[in-house]
Amino acid sequence: MQVSRRRAHTVKTVKPLHRPTKAKDTGLGTAVAAGFKLKPGKGPIWNSSTSASLLHAHSFSLASLRNDVSVPHPRVELERWVEVCRLRAKLKALCRQAGLAASPILAFERWLARAKMLEAITRSKGPAPHPKAKKNKKKHAAKENRQARAVGGGQGPSHEEDPVIPHVSLPERGLVNDLVRGGLAPAAAKVIAQQLATLGRQACETVRKCQISCGSGAADAGAGAGAGATSAWQVQVAVHRHTMDVTLKGPTKVPRHMFKLNPCHWDKLVGLYSHGSLHKPNVAASDDSEALADSKGSGGERKWADPSDCSPASRRFRTAVFCVLARYHAIQGPGFQAAVVEHAFQVLHGMMGVGFECFASPLNCHFARFCSAFPDVDAPFGSVGSCFSFFPLRGSFEVNPPFIDSVMLSVARHLQRLLGAASSGQLTKEQRQLVASGVTEYTTQGDEAKSNTTEGGSKKKNKPRALSFVVVVPGWTEDEGWKLLESSPFTRAHWLVARKDHGFCDGAQHQRRDRCVA
């Protein structure tokens, strides 16, 4: 039997991702959108004034206790971008071979996010205790460490772990469900997921070999002529009227690439880099802050921010920009990395004191300090690490996680745990670890919390701490994460906003002139 190409490649969605939200349209969104556009240069796209009260926000992140995060070499980051693009193209090809026109929208991006979320959670909690560990402690402890390293947990990342590409041996259940929802039989979907997992491991190995061949990290890549072979790799920025083209040049041929950035976001990255370099949690950051101070002109202007400047500080900054652009270009899909518009942030900041984002990136953040998925490339611009490694004692925070059911459920559980500890005046295990280690620089909060919980076993009445989160998630009312948030005893209010009454900033806003999407 011969099947026509058109029929074989017809997209067939047998099951929607979620039930449509049924909220009444007020008409306000349509009226506002008629004359509403967010264009670069028309207004501030981020708020740097709140950073003064959050200079030491990293003190509440487990990432501040670890020294295993380093900025990647730009050639390694470019190779990672190439491998992620190949994996995405391979998934589309496998779906076409199976009879679909393309893979379901954002199936690949959700696969990446779920895998890395699992690694982030495992890394922050450490290996789970083995039920028989008491009988043979040493044997099972070694087994737990091996299992933890396989998924990115334990004391530090394994040599196989990649910040973007999943290193898994079995087909990921969420990807299988996405492919089945797109019209494939479960068996066929499982085969494709297994093939992608195998290709992912191969891609991790390719990136690892590139990393070995490049040697040290990106911190040396822009240090000047005396930095060795890595200094031969230079990030170049071509400035045009409305865009800036960022590319990598080196002693060997590189894959074809070009990452675009608008001038408004270039200025934003300059500001974030200035804040981030002055308030990094590690001691080595002082070298960069001194270099930035030394490279200022007589009038206080930032000479290192000039794309044509050849100083070591300028080359380090351009390398950091290149790595951020390559990383987020690799994971970007339709509607992915969208952010709340600045007008909403202004209301949250003015009325609720929100000054920190738990899910953001240097390209879409509104505040100077934030949590992000990739601290290796984001830390120079103000990231304090993953939200799942962030344990604030008090304050008000905005939470806009990726619209992935498993991620939102994990977020709901994380917030529930933090709010439970704050309401009782207790500390979580991670918060006790941070306070005991002396990292916390909010001494009043740290001493108060410690005195409530560690005073020689005495029963002292604990004082609740003021902690709140403004959570922005899709109206998937049947989702387990939504139900957990809605039914939480800590929920004070929630609103279901109609589709026509809200909008987001595009995830690719840094390379667009019109940043707003419906």
HSE (side-chain half, CA atoms, 13 Å) at 33:
15
Does the residue 17 lie in any domain? no
Q: Are 364 and 322 contained in the same domain?
A: no
CA–CA dist 496, 474 (Å, integer): 9
| Confidence (pLDDT) at 283 | 34
**Residue 13, in any domain of the structure:** no
pLDDT at 349 over 80: yes
- Is the pLDDT assigned to residue 158 strictly greater than 50? no
3-state secondary structure 12-77: CCCCCCCCCCCCCCCCHHHHHHCCCCCCCCCCCCCECHHHHHHCCHHHHEHHHHCCCCCCCCHHHH
**Lowest-pLDDT range of 259-263, 453-457, 470-474:** 453-457
Can you read off the two tokens belonging to residue 347? 């209301």
CA dist., res. 511 & res. 263, Å (int): 9
CA atoms in the 13 A half-sphere facing the CB of 36: 18
Rounded to a whole number of angstroms, the distance between the first and last alpha carbons of the chain is: 45
Question: Two tokens at 499?
Answer: 């589709």
* Range from 143-147, 435-439, 490-494 that averages highest in pLDDT: 490-494
Q: 246-250 — which CB contacts under 8 Å span 24+ positions? A: 246/318, 246/321, 246/322, 246/325, 248/74, 248/75, 248/78, 248/322, 250/75
Residue 10 maps to a domain:
no
Burial (CB count <10 Å: 0-12, 13-18, 19+), residue 407: buried
* Final residue before a domain boundary, out of 201, 217, 233: 217
Is the residue at 1 inside a domain? no
Kindly state whether residues 342 and 434 are assigned to the same domain. Answer: yes
pLDDT at 461 (0 to 100): 61
pLDDT value for 28: 74
Q: Where a domain ends, among 186, 217, 248?
A: 217
Summarize the confidence of residues 507-515 as an average pLDDT: 64
pLDDT at 516: 52
Asked, for residue 178, whether it belongs to a domain, the answer is yes
Same domain, residue pair 213 and 223: no
As for how many domains the chain has, the answer is: 3
Which residues, in sequence order, are bridge partners of residue 516? 505
| pLDDT, position 174 | 92
CA count, 13 A, side-chain hemisphere, 486:
13
- Domain check: are 191 and 238 in the same one? no
> What's the CA gap between 21 and 498, in Å, rounded?
7
pLDDT at site 96 = 92
Rounded to an integer, the average pLDDT of 338-348 is 83
CA 103 to chain centre: 23
Residue of higher predicted confidence among 47 and 472: 472
How confident is the model over 243-255, as a mean pLDDT?
A: 91
Question: Vertex 32, ends 29 and 38: CA angle to 5°?
Answer: 110
Residue ranges making up the domain that contains 280? 219-331
pLDDT digits (tens, 9 = 90+) for 36-56: 655 544 556 777 766 544 444
For range 333-362, the mean pLDDT: 83
Tokens 């990739």 correspond to what residue? Answer: 374
Same-domain status, 202 and 173: yes
Claim to verify: residue 235 and residue 193 sit in the same structural domain: no
> Taking 60 as the threshold, does the pLDDT of residue 247 lie above it?
yes
Distant-in-sequence, close-in-space partners of 349: CB < 8 Å, separation ≥ 6? 47, 50, 355
Structure tokens, 61: 């992140």
Amino acid code (one letter) for 174: G
Q: Let me know: does 408 contact 481? Beta carbons within 8 Å.
A: yes
The C-alpha angle 209, 214, 219, rounded to 5 degrees, equals 130
Answer yes or no: is 63 within a domain. Answer: yes
With 70 as the cut, is the pLDDT of residue 135 above it? no
Q: Rounded to whole angstroms, how far apart are CA atoms 497 and 443?
A: 40
Q: In whole numbers, what is the pLDDT of the chain averaged over residues?
A: 76
Give a yes or no: residue 492 inside a domain. Answer: yes
Tokens standing for 419?
């709010």
- Taking the C-alpha atoms of residue 58 and residue 411, their distance in angstroms, rounded to an integer, is 19
Q: Write out the two tokens for 91.
A: 């998934």
- By three-state DSSP, how is residue 61 classified? strand
Do 353 and 500 share a domain, yes or no? yes
% pLDDT > 70, the chain: 67
Q: Is 339 helix (H, G, I), strand (E, B) or coil?
A: strand
Average pLDDT over residues 143-171: 58
Say how many C-beta atoms besides its own lie within 10 A of residue 514's C-beta.
Answer: 11
Q: Same domain, yes or no, for 132 and 187? A: yes
Spatial distance between the Cα atoms of 455 and 461, rounded to a whole number of angstroms: 11
Is the Cβ–Cβ distance between 242 and 256 less than 8 Å?
Answer: no
Say whether pLDDT at 193 is over 80. yes
CA–CA separation, 387 vs 362, rounded Å? 15
The reply to whether 210 and 225 lie within a common domain is: no
Name the domain boundary from 312, 331, 350: 331
Q: How many Å apart are CA 200 and CA 154, to the nearest integer? A: 21
User: Is residue 227 predicted with pLDDT exceeding 50?
Assistant: no
> Is the pLDDT reported for residue 394 higher than 80?
yes
Using alpha carbons, select from 140, 23, 40 the residue that is nearest to residue 342. Answer: 40
Residues 501 and 355 in one domain: yes
Contact 336, 342 (CB under 8 A): no
Q: Which residue has the tokens 């800036």?
A: 244
